[in-house]
DNA sequence: GTTCTGACA
DNA sequence: TGTCAGCA
């Protein structure tokens, strides 16, 4: 995913190396490191840097920008929880259906174990 | 030639 | 943030 050296990112974002490294210190971007300890930025990193530049031009300071991305991560965690909840409910539905078939005599092997929710975690 | 870390008139 | 030093 990470393919751009800092020099390319500088031209693409019109930011100085000093700024780019500083935003990394603020945990706004997380470039990988290659064998030579060189930072390699992903397309997503470029995207975030451009967003940061917009926020800055709108008069938002680093504290504010950091808050924005912190909230964004909280929302991301919430969505992950929602996703987990949906999967659990879906498993329950499938399990109940499997038990229904078993009790109804359509299956003599009991609930389908492939529907066991423990396999989804 | 390019990037890295650390430091500061 | 800019910039310079001293490495790799």
And the tokens for A100? 């229904």
**Helices vs strands, H then E, count in chain A:** 4, 3
Residue A109, pLDDT score:
63
Check if residue A10 sits with its Cβ under 7 angstroms from strand C.
no
Residue A111, pLDDT score:
59
Distance from the Cα of residue A20 to its chain's centroid: 21
Residue A118, pLDDT score:
55
User: What residues does each domain of chain A span?
Assistant: 1-60, 76-121
Distance A19 CA to C7 C1' (A): 22
User: Tens place of pLDDT for every residue, chain A, 121 residues?
Assistant: 989 999 999 999 999 999 999 999 999 999 999 989 999 999 999 999 999 999 999 999 999 999 999 999 999 999 998 888 887 888 899 989 999 888 876 655 655 655 555 555 4
Check if residue A5 sits with its Cβ under 7 angstroms from strand B.
yes
Distance A25 CA to B2 C1' (A): 21
And the tokens for A101? 């078939």
Fold category of A1-60 in CATH: Multidrug-efflux Transporter Regulator; Chain: A; Domain 2 (1.10.1660)
Helix (H) or strand (E) holding A5: none
Check if residue A19 sits with its Cβ under 7 angstroms from strand C.
yes
């Amino acid at each position: 995913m990470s393919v751009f050296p800092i020099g390319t990112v500088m031209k693409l974002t019109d930011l100085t190396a000093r700024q780019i490294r500083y935003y990394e210190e603020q945990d706004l971007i997380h470039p990988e490191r290659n064998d030579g300890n060189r930072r390699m930025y992903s397309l997503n990193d470029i995207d975030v840097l451009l967003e940061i530049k917009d926020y800055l031009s709108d008069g938002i300071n680093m504290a504010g920008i950091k808050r924005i991305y912190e909230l964004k991560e909280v929302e991301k965690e919430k969505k992950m929880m929602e996703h987990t909840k949906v999967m659990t409910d879906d498993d329950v539905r499938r399990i109940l259906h499997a038990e229904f078939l078993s009790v109804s005599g359509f299956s003599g092997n009991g609930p389908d174990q492939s529907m066991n929710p423990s396999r989804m975690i």
